[in-house]
Chain A
Amino acid sequence: MVPLSSYLILSAILFSIGVVGFLLRRNLIVLFMSIELMLNAANLAFVAFSRFLHSMDGQIFVFFVMSVAAAEAAVGLAIIMAVFRTKETVNADEVNLMRW
């Protein structure tokens, strides 16, 4: 059987890829995809713990995380649409009205 630590290491790698993508990329849509990667890494850790602790709570949590992710994607993409309409760009560097 695959040990718990392999699943958790995979989750850590996915989360780090998401963080690096979020920090490096400047396209708002790709930033969003990086957030989805991080959410999925957390989901993987939840399901792995749920399996190895013999508890269903982790899978229920993943269910809630997915509904929050769906809501977040809908609202976030609407915000990106609004930004594109006013700024004609989705580059995060050029959306700097509130930057210090």
Chain B
Amino acid sequence: MLETAFFIVLAVLTVITAILVIVQRNPVVSAIYLIITLFCLAGIYLLLQAPFIAVIQVLVYAGAIMVLFLFVIMLLNLEKEKKLITRHRLPKVLGILLGIVLLAQLGVLFRSILLEGAQGQFPPEKVAALGNTEVIARLLFTDFLLPFEITSVLLLVAIIGAIVLAKRQI
């Protein structure tokens, strides 16, 4: 009962702030609303018994990525958009139409999903007994070791790429 109430509150907040992100003229305000959205999603991850994901959602998304966004907005010293969206009428109508069609399709798809596949080896009680972070760490350093190492290469490439792109002269 309490879980349902928490879910409804968080879901409504998430959707409202997500809509506010895309209708704000000022990108700084958009960024602030996006941070609230990300915090609400972290709460939903807690409801789904994924505390590790919830914490790195706050640390990486709401912390690192959004601070990066805000810094870039401040560096660019943007003024408010005079017109919120594109000049032409047709792309606007088509965009909203496409969004509604996509939502309808996803809704129909997700309503018909039945969980009939084989269940995994980690029921919630076992994860709670072992500790969520420990289970993830164990998997990350055994079964998913290669993707984990590739991630480090990806981050190195991103560091170098960001410096090369953002620097005036190398």
Q: A residues bordering B, Cβ < 8 Å?
A: 1-2, 4-21, 23-27, 29-30, 32-34, 36-37, 40, 43-44, 47-48, 50-57, 59-60, 62-64, 66-75, 77-82, 84-85, 90-91, 93
Contact check, A15 vs B22: say whether CB atoms are below 8 A apart.
Answer: no
Q: Which residues does chain A contribute within 8 Å of B127, judged by CB atoms? A: 56
Given A20-B99, A24-B85, A67-B154: A29 and B73 within 8 A (CB)? yes
Q: Is B140 an interface residue (CB 8 A)?
A: yes
- In this complex, the member of B41, B52, B124 whose beta carbon has the largest number of chain A beta carbons within 10 angstroms is B41
Q: Is B128 an interface residue (CB 8 A)?
A: no
Count of chain B residues with a beta carbon within 8 Å of a chain A beta carbon:
85
Q: Which residues does chain B contribute within 8 Å of A43, judged by CB atoms? A: 41, 53, 57
Contact check, B37 vs A50: say whether CB atoms are below 8 A apart.
Answer: no
Q: Quick one: closest B residue to A74, CB to CB?
A: B162
A-B contact pairs, 20 of them (CB 8 A): A2-B3, A9-B111, A13-B103, A15-B106, A17-B15, A23-B94, A24-B96, A25-B84, A36-B34, A48-B48, A53-B115, A54-B119, A54-B123, A56-B120, A57-B120, A62-B53, A77-B162, A81-B72, A81-B75, A82-B165
Residue of A8, A29, A53, A82 near B117 (CB, 8 A) is A53
Given A60-B144, A66-B56: A47 and B48 within 8 A (CB)? yes
6 closest A-B pairs by CB: A55-B120, A21-B22, A23-B95, A71-B158, A12-B106, A20-B99
* A34: min CB distance to chain B, Å: 6
* A60: min CB distance to chain B, Å: 5
Contact check, B81 vs A27: say whether CB atoms are below 8 A apart.
Answer: yes
Q: For the complex, give the distance between the alpha carbons of A29 and B117 in Å.
A: 40
Q: B residues bordering A, Cβ < 8 Å?
A: 3-4, 7, 11, 14-15, 18-19, 21-22, 27, 30-31, 34, 37-38, 41, 44-45, 47-50, 52-53, 56-57, 60-61, 64-65, 68-69, 72-73, 75-76, 78, 81, 84-87, 91-92, 94-96, 98-100, 102-103, 106-107, 110-111, 113, 115, 117, 119-124, 127, 135-136, 139-140, 144, 147, 151, 154-155, 157-159, 161-163, 165-166, 168
